Amino acid sequence: ITFEEGSCLEGIGQLAFDHCTSLETFDMPNTVTTIAGQVFGNCSSLKYAHLSDNLTSMGGATFWECTSMVEGEIPGGVSSIRNAFVNCTALKRLKLGSKDSAPGTTLIKNVGITGCDQLERIELGANIDSLENLALMDLQNVKVFICWASTPPRCNDHWSCFSPSTDRLTAPLY
């Protein structure tokens, strides 16, 4: 799905593309600032979705069981990332924010990333402020972990941020 140039779309409602099993790519116009929950849930053929650079609000379970998605990205203006990438079994690269994002504006919480067994690279932008409630799970295959924040994200203890344990996270942290 690609929108016409000049689109005035500002938001996308809950479950808008849920179970669209033939959807392979999605290019969101930069006019969109809000998307509701589970917009792309169970889109089993979705390989890539470009989200609006102006996105500030995103409901939970955005990419729930998008089993063909190889690369995921969430722009730096989003304030909360909840259950964003769950059971995205082909996901290899994940970028949450950017190194140029405003520092300390985003929270990853409530199992933000889990069940992504092929995940090899995670990049956290300068905007990532804190990790809560098992924010990142099942990271045993991650080979590269980059954090662009000059002050690392807050985390009460490793159990509240990582699961099953940081002991399994053997990737170098850059």
Compute CA 70 distance to the chain's CA centroid, rounded to the nearest angstrom.
12
Can you point out the beta strands (E) in the chain?
A: 11-12, 25-27, 34-35, 48-50, 57-58, 63-64, 71-74, 80-82, 85-86, 93-96, 106-109, 113-114, 121-124, 128-131, 136-137, 144-147, 162-163
> Looking at the whole model, is its pTM more than 0.95?
no
* pLDDT tens digits for range 60-87: 999 999 999 999 999 999 999 999 999 9
**Residue % of the chain over a pLDDT of 70:** 93
Q: What are the distances in angstroms from CA 41 to CA 20, 128, 152?
A: 8, 24, 31
Question: What confidence score (pLDDT) does residue 105 get?
Answer: 86
pLDDT tens digit at each of 174 positions of the chain? 999 989 999 999 999 999 999 999 999 999 999 999 999 999 999 999 999 999 999 999 999 999 999 999 999 999 999 999 999 999 999 999 999 988 888 888 887 898 999 999 999 999 998 888 878 887 889 999 999 998 888 886 655 677 655 566 778 888
The predicted pLDDT at position 96 comes to 94
**Cα(51)–Cα(173) distance, integer angstroms:** 26
